[in-house]
Structure 1
Amino acid sequence: MSDSPLRPNVVLATCCLSLLLVMMDVTIVNVALPSIRADLGGRFSTLQWVVDAYTLVVASLLVLAGSTADRIGRRRVFVTGIATFCLGSVLCGLAPSALALVLARGFQGLGGAMLNPVALSIIANVFTAPGARARAIGMWGAMSGVALALGPLAGGVLTTYAGWRAVFWVNVPVGLLAIWLSRRFIPESRAVRARAIDVPAQVLVALTLAAVTAALIEVRDYGWRAPAIGGGLGLAGLGVVALVAVERRRAQPLLDVRFFRALPFTGAILIAICAFAIFSAFLFLNTLYLQDVRGLSPLRAGLCTLPFALGVMACAPLSGRLVAARGARLPLLLSATGLGGGALLLTGLADATPLGLLAVSYGLCGCGFGLCNAPITNTAVSGMPRDQAGLAAALASTSRQVGALLGIAVSGTMTASAMAGAGPAGAGGDRVAMALLPLASHRVWWGVVALAGFIAWLGLLSTGARARASVLAVRAMLEGGAGSTPDIRPAGQRTESTPPST
């Protein structure tokens, strides 16, 4: 770093740039999917892999990236992550085929895994005063809403006027600026006692997620009875069993199974998976519907999805205030209402559904999604020992990525299986089948309604007296029976707090 004095606001802005890269990339790519298929060809499942190849790598390596940064230096890993993300974006922009694009997206995910968890650790290290730290993390969280709002519009403009490859090229100048700012203003920092890297668990997590994702995406082409599909699901099941067995015997596990005895933590993990599965399924299917069924240009499709992003921007800060004032239960119930209500309006989706109805649906889903993030993180870390709060938050962040991964895989498979009768698998058959997308997606939206109900039930279960008692018991176990009294108040009501490392 240069000899310039440390400027916390510049550090915060630099870290927010990394979040802008990662979050905007999700919505930009979704808007560009129909154009990608038209140019590169490929099956319907190829579109799922374009999104999930990135998410799979991020979900597999998120905790590893955080622990590696604590060990060898947060700025070093952060800069490496930005450079890797930019190089992956270049490879995506140059991809000559659908397979090359999927592989480049996976490489891009390697960089993405190093950005968000490490950036949040940098913020926590620079903003040491509790009040300043809370405000900085609040601004960091608000950037995700801004990125979601910019993504559809930017993706539509770039795809319409410069082609789909431009949605990847735009990452490069932003990334180069972030690298320069990082090297000039961000101080290097390391954890005093870094966690050991749990190699067996990392391998098992990656194999399990890859196996279940591949099986769910490819089931349309091979069928549920195919040995490859059964083998993939079986391998995923064995991976889960092996992961639990391995982690129970490690002193510093990647996945501490004792956490799951706390009902709030387990509830937060499940809520994160469900909410982000809804989010990814919503973006994936509605982008295809607006362009391939309604015939809208990428720009108009991006504008149509703005109510979702604006709902996120409006409700994300409101959620944080509600958690601080009332706890996690109310925002979780409101989140479930928004997600379920928005999906319910899509259960009758047709070729000519009024755009006004779509806007209301998208806005409700956006509000529901914006309300869920703050209570997820708060519920996951609430009452945990200070030295365990970072790991708990890291696992909650990983569960978000797992949810996004499964949302694309499951919703795409459910829809594609209903469209299978329109023609054989492949580019031509998939184009014909797209006419059936609105009707085929009904089962997905009813599934989202059910998931929203499940989120509401989990919100009630994870915030009651029984849940608080389970946190007390787990914290006592983690601390080895130490006599300290846990603080299980909402994060905004504590005199000090430990920010998550991811």
Structure 2
Amino acid sequence: MGGVARLRGRSLLVLLICCCSIFIVGLDTSALNVALPSIQRDLHASIQGAQWTIDAYTLVLASFLILSASTADRIGRRRVFQVGLAIFGTGSLLCGLAPSLGWLIAFRVLQAVGGSMLNPVALSIISNTFTEPRARARAIGVWGGVVGVSIAAGPVLGGLLVQAFSWRAIFFINVPIAAAALVLAGRYIRESMAAGRRRFDPLGQVLLITGVGSLTFGIIEAPMRGWGSTEIMSCFAIAVGALVGLVWWEFHHRDPLIDLRFFRSPPFSGAAAIALLAFTAQGGFLLLNTLYLQDALDFSPLEAGLAILPMAALMAVVGPISGRVVGRYGPRPSLTMGGLSVLLAGLITVIPHDDPPYSRLFVVYSLIGFGLGWINAAITNTAVSGMPNRQAGVAAGITSTMRQLGQTLGVAIIGSIIAAYVTEVAQTPAFMSAYHVSWAVIGAIGLANLVIGLVTTSHRAQRSALRNADRMGAAARD
């Protein structure tokens, strides 16, 4: 009994280490939004220049997630995880000391390189630590809740740190957490890697980074340069060409970076699509309501963050519950509940009204947090369940990349909608029109998530996934 208890305690400590690391990565994705005006003043930058402190991080993080995950599967997950913590902590320290905007952006790139080694690798470590299906689903539920909360709670913690200290504190707070996780990982996380020594796929890696990087850059710059501009269309053309080339190459390479047979599994394909859509809704929601609360209702950054707190709190509470439900009943109930909640939030808010009472805001924000909490744990568990352990990191990396792209896409889409309606002051009927249209988009995403979740978790889809897993297992043995 004592040995079992020690094993269980060690597993929970591994989960805690992984959750701490991913919390600081997610936090840095969203907390800096409320600090942009302070960065702009202190470093004498334009608002577009200050915005790139967020965009550079997003661009690099999205481009390197799958590469980092694949490398971890090959050379060791704990090793890559520790390197990521060291790079992320060093980058955070340098960001806090940055003397100018150019240096801050450069250090954010370094920070993102480290961050790309933490998100999918942490999930792969969890998947290989909790091998029993129900225990794995519960652990992934906790992890999924932390991922969502780190992003949703960013405006609250960012507002507190900026108001109490300065924008630099947002970076300094990462350093001791990364250092502690680095030491604990070396002591308690066992090394794991793919059973066979697979060859690197440099061309696949270049094509992937080119495709994802060009797509992400185009999404980020489109609201400012115009969706039909030559620069943006060129970015999208490069992205399409690189990703088409990647698909062709991966089908013909002996040891592909991404095993495209993953996508023959309807649950995995559905998880990837739902991850993209759910985080499009979350990214758009955070941008839209941060602007609405501060510009239309005249909230301070801290007050705006506190107003969104119901979303973060419910994501924290519901994530672990969803993990338990997935472990017992599969992902279908969680995906259904999540899609319905996001759809309902959109339907409530899209009804025209000039100034919604705070009770309406509380209900809507709660519904968004409730829905995304159910969805996040379900897509994470679906992505890694049934996949070979030797490529658990890549499977996790694909959905992590979809999350990052979704968040970027949500900001770009909602930002474009607002820019199309509002020219000067947000506190106008024009902004409210943009507000309602944006919420209609979020509601439509909830409907799409609901439909995809139902279709890809049906009995027929599950049988197809089992056949695909058997084929992959047989091919691996041969």
TM-score (norm 1): 0.83
* Mapping 1:146-157, distance limit 5 Å: 147=150, 151-157=154-160
Per-residue CA deviation, residues 424-477 of structure 1 (Å, 9 max, x unaligned), is: xxxxxxxx5686544334332211111111111101210224323432443344
Kept in 2: contact 1:377–1:393 (CA 8 A): yes
Kept in 1: contact 2:145–2:376 (CA 8 A): no
Q: CA deviation at 1:83?
A: 1.9
Kept in 2: contact 1:36–1:164 (CA 8 A): yes
Q: Secondary structure, in 3 states, of the residue corresponding to 1:255?
A: coil
Q: CA deviation at 1:213?
A: 2.6
Distance 1:228 1:391, change over 3 A: closer
State how far apart, in whole Å, the 2-side matches of 1:482 and 1:70 are: 15
**Which range moved further: 243-252 or 384-393?**
384-393
Kept in 2: contact 1:10–1:185 (CA 8 A): yes
Distance 1:43 1:290, change over 3 A: farther
Per-residue CA deviation, residues 42-73 of structure 1 (Å, 9 max, x unaligned), is: 66655654333223222222222223234334
State how far apart, in whole Å, the 1-side matches of 2:97 and 2:257 are: 36
Q: CA deviation at 1:41?
A: 6.4
Question: Which residue matches 1:340?
Answer: 343
- 1:449 maps onto 2:443 in alignment: yes
Distance 1:43 1:417, change over 3 A: farther
Distance 1:437 1:162, change over 3 A: farther
Distance 1:195 1:338, change over 3 A: farther
Structure 1: which amino acid aligns with 2:57? Answer: Y
Q: CA deviation at 1:271?
A: 0.7
Q: Secondary structure, in 3 states, of the residue corresponding to 2:379?
A: helix
Per-residue CA deviation, residues 186-224 of structure 1 (Å, 9 max, x unaligned), is: 444544324433222222222222222332333344334
Question: Which residue matches 2:319?
Answer: 316
Question: Which residue matches 2:77?
Answer: 74
Distance 1:10 1:27, change over 3 A: same
Question: Which residue matches 1:285?
Answer: 288
Q: CA deviation at 1:369?
A: 0.5
State how far apart, in whole Å, the 2-side matches of 1:231 and 1:242 are: 16
Structure 1: which amino acid aligns with 2:234? Answer: G
Distance 1:242 1:416, change over 3 A: same
State how far apart, in whole Å, the 2-side matches of 1:213 and 1:438 are: 28
Question: Which residue matches 2:457?
Answer: 463
Q: Secondary structure, in 3 states, of the residue corresponding to 1:75?
A: helix
Question: Which residue matches 1:63?
Answer: 66
Question: Which residue matches 1:243?
Answer: 246
Distance 1:275 1:325, change over 3 A: same
Query: When the two structures are aligned, how many residues end up with a matched partner?
Result: 469
* Mapping 1:39-438, distance limit 5 Å: 39-40=42-43, 46=49, 49-124=52-127, 136-144=139-147, 147=150, 151-347=154-350, 352-384=355-387, 387=390, 390-419=393-422, 421-422=423-424, 432=425, 437-438=431-432
Q: Secondary structure, in 3 states, of the residue corresponding to 1:248?
A: helix
State how far apart, in whole Å, the 1-side matches of 2:235 and 2:474 are: 39
Kept in 2: contact 1:274–1:455 (CA 8 A): yes
Structure 2: which amino acid aligns with 1:416? Answer: A
Q: Secondary structure, in 3 states, of the residue corresponding to 1:251?
A: coil
Question: Which residue matches 1:474?
Answer: 468
State how far apart, in whole Å, the 2-side matches of 1:184 and 1:384 are: 28
Distance 1:186 1:388, change over 3 A: closer
State how far apart, in whole Å, the 2-side matches of 1:222 and 1:398 are: 24
Kept in 2: contact 1:461–1:467 (CA 8 A): yes
Kept in 2: contact 1:81–1:110 (CA 8 A): yes
State how far apart, in whole Å, the 1-side matches of 2:98 and 2:369 are: 32
Question: Which residue matches 1:496?
Answer: none
Kept in 2: contact 1:124–1:133 (CA 8 A): yes
Distance 1:202 1:41, change over 3 A: farther
Structure 1: which amino acid aligns with 2:264? Answer: R
Distance 1:33 1:289, change over 3 A: farther
Structure 2: which amino acid aligns with 1:317? Answer: P
State how far apart, in whole Å, the 2-side matches of 1:10 and 1:44 are: 42
> Aligned Cα RMSD in Å?
3.1
**Which range moved further: 359-368 or 85-94?**
85-94
Kept in 1: contact 2:152–2:286 (CA 8 A): no
Distance 1:106 1:440, change over 3 A: farther
State how far apart, in whole Å, the 2-side matches of 1:59 and 1:135 are: 26
Distance 1:65 1:416, change over 3 A: same
Q: Secondary structure, in 3 states, of the residue corresponding to 1:456?
A: helix
Structure 1: tracts of 5 or more residues without a match: 423-431, 484-502
Question: Which residue matches 1:428?
Answer: none
Kept in 2: contact 1:89–1:171 (CA 8 A): yes
Distance 1:299 1:273, change over 3 A: same
Q: CA deviation at 1:12?
A: 3.7
Distance 1:402 1:473, change over 3 A: same
Q: CA deviation at 1:243?
A: 1.3
Q: CA deviation at 1:308?
A: 0.4
**Which range moved further: 357-366 or 202-211?**
202-211
Q: CA deviation at 1:31?
A: 3.4
Structure 2: which amino acid aligns with 1:21? Answer: I
Kept in 2: contact 1:265–1:379 (CA 8 A): yes
Question: Which residue matches 1:486?
Answer: none
Kept in 2: contact 1:67–1:196 (CA 8 A): no
Q: CA deviation at 1:309?
A: 0.5
Identity %: 45
Per-residue CA deviation, residues 156-204 of structure 1 (Å, 9 max, x unaligned), is: 2111121222211211222222233334444445443244332222222
Structure 1: which amino acid aligns with 2:211? Answer: T
Q: Secondary structure, in 3 states, of the residue corresponding to 1:196?
A: coil
